[in-house]
Amino acid sequence: MRAGEPLPPLEIPVTRTLIVAGAIASRDYQDVHHDAELARQKGAPDIFMNILTTNGLVGRYVTDHFGPAAVLRKVAIRLGTPNHPGDTMVLTGSVEEVDGDTAVVRVVGANKTGTHVTGTVTVTLPAGEAAR
């Protein structure tokens, strides 16, 4: 693990099921995340992914790459354009800095309309794996 090292991209098909299941699994019952009609009344073209799901997917992207022994320390994200049903979000990332067993990974998730999420994830690896 060294600074500049890219993570392989991860494609997330943004289905209606993912949006609704993610919202409910995070106990977020805001109607814009499950009710298309009410979402449209509020100015959105359709339901859209809630921030907790995006946050979870960003965390998953990093632990998928570094393995089950990796421990998330911080996840900080900012949302841009929404994730709607039918979108594909492509997560990309790279190791921004390494300090001993801890790395900061910069993550970007983009869909066809632009950048859905940007953020940084701080992750700690067990000593043996960090040295790889």
Partner 1 sequence: MSDEQAHDELGERLKEFAGRPAAVAGRGKDPVNAPMIRHWCEALGDTNPAYTGPDAVAPPTMLQAWTMGGLTGHQGRTGAYDELLGLLDASGCTSVVATDCEQEYLRPLRPGDEVVFDTVIEEVSARKTTRLGTGYFVTTRTEVRVDGEPVGIHRFRILKYAPAPRGPRTPRPRPVVNRDNAGFWQGVAEHRLLIQRCTACGTLRHPWLPGCNACGGPDWDTVEASGEGTVHSYVVMHHPPFPAFTAPEEGAAGPYAVGLIELAEGVRMVSNVVGVPYDKVRIGLPVRLVFRRYDEDLTLPVFEAVDR
53: tokens are 């799901």
Of positions 5, 6, 9, 42, contacts partner 1 by CB under 8 A: 42
User: To the nearest 10°, the Cα dihedral for 83, 85, 88, 89?
Assistant: 20
**Does 28 help bind partner 1 (rule: CB under 8 A)?**
yes
Residues binding partner 1: what is the number (CB under 8 A)?
38
Q: Cα separation of 113 and 88, whole Å?
A: 10
Residue 112 found at the interface with partner 1 (CB under 8 A) = no
By CB under 8 A, tell whether 24 contacts partner 1.
yes
With tokens 């996840």, the residue in question is 75
How far apart are the C-alpha atoms of 101 and 113, rounded to whole Å?
36
Does 115 sit near partner 1 (CB under 8 A)? no
- Alpha-carbon span 132 to 128, nearest angstrom: 7
CB-wise, 50 or 111, nearer to partner 1? 50
Contact between 63 and partner 1 (CB under 8 A)?
yes
Q: Which stretch binds partner 1 (CB under 8 A): 1-9, 73-81, 85-93, 99-107?
A: 73-81
Which region, judged by CB under 8 A, interacts with partner 1, from 1-9, 14-22, 85-93, 99-107? Answer: 14-22
Nearer to partner 1, 63 or 92 (CB): 63
Residue 96 sits at φ, ψ, to 5 deg, of -90, -45
Q: Is 22 among the residues that bind partner 1 (CB under 8 A)? A: yes
For residues 93 and 58, the answer to whether their CB atoms sit within 8 Å is no
